[in-house]
Structure 1
Amino acid sequence: MNALYTAEALATGGGRNGHVRTADGILDTEVRVPKELGGAGGAPNPELLFAAGYAACFHSALQSVARAQKTQIEGSSVGSSVSLLPNGAGGFQLAVTLEVNIPEMPLDLAQQLADAAHQVCPYSNATRGNIDVTISVVDD
């Protein structure tokens, strides 16, 4: 299968307390363990980067599904929260909550669009069966 796009990044200097840079230089930042986990905070961490990427990717999938169904979703948004959890075997796992907001759309129709977006979103497809992903439609 031919890749449509490939992103490349390099982590250096200590993993969660280090530096990440993409090959194209667009993302070039320090990363830090968050204060909530005993770190210094003050910089992005892997969960923040994942949450931002998943929210943007899912919103794009939502817009694509809406266009295919000839449905307007002006002013829509997707919020993402990524939780780091112990996995009970000495390691860690992630859980994701996505909140979809489509103003002036009945919640049941918005949920149908969100469910359809979950089937096409690359992040959703990558995580399916691996981590818990909860998708909620909200009206705020």
Structure 2
Amino acid sequence: MKIFYKTSATATGGRSGVTTLGDGSLTFEMAPPGGKKTGQNPEQLFALGYAACFDSAMDLTAKSLEMELHDARTTVEVGIGQRADGGYGLDLDITAHLPGLSPEDAQRLIEASHQVCPYSHATRGNIDVRLHAITEGN
């Protein structure tokens, strides 16, 4: 694979610590979900990245499918829970808001985008991902 871009982040203190991008441009105070400490958790950060990546994949895919997107947006909901084997796992719902597309075109677009998105490649076979399209009432 030809690498186009690399970045890094360093965490100290895990879910109750701090995580910072390698170039120093962004730092987050971390906090466990549902705790009293103010901060972000890894699931929130994953949702942010996946939503942006999938939204970009939809833009790219829409062009190749000769579809025009107007006011499209992507919402990614990330859940964490305990697997049957005792470990922990993630659960994802991706909702594409695609006003102006027919339900059939919207479904075709999100399925094709799921094949293009790098986050989708990383999660495929590892995380239960459900795709949803909303074409009205955006």
TM-score over 0.5 for the pair: yes
Contact 2:29 2:39 in 1 (8 A): yes
Deviations 1:9-64 (A, max 9, x none): 0001x2000000001122211110022xxx22421100000011111100000000
Is 1:16 equivalent to 2:15 in the alignment? yes
- Amino acid paired to 1:19: V
Q: Is 1:107 equivalent to 2:103 in the alignment?
A: yes
Alignment of 1:79-94 (within 5 A): 79-94=75-90
1:63 aligns with 2:59: yes
Q: Provide Cα deviations, 1:72-112, integer angstroms capped at 9, x if missing partner.
A: 10100110100001112221000100001111111110110
Unaligned stretches of 5+ residues in structure 2:
none
- The residue that corresponds to 1:133 in the other structure is 129
Q: 1:46 aligns with which of 32, 42, 60?
A: 42
Task: State the superposition RMSD in angstroms.
Answer: 1.1
Q: Which runs of 4+ in 1 moved over 4 A?
A: none
TM-score (norm 1): 0.93
> How high is the TM-score relative to the length of structure 2?
0.94
Which residue identity is paired with 2:20? R
Tell whether the 8 Å contact from 1:34 to 1:41 is kept in structure 2 after alignment. Answer: no
Q: Which of 39, 60, 75 is the matching residue for 2:71?
A: 75
Equivalent position amino acid for 2:49 in 1: G
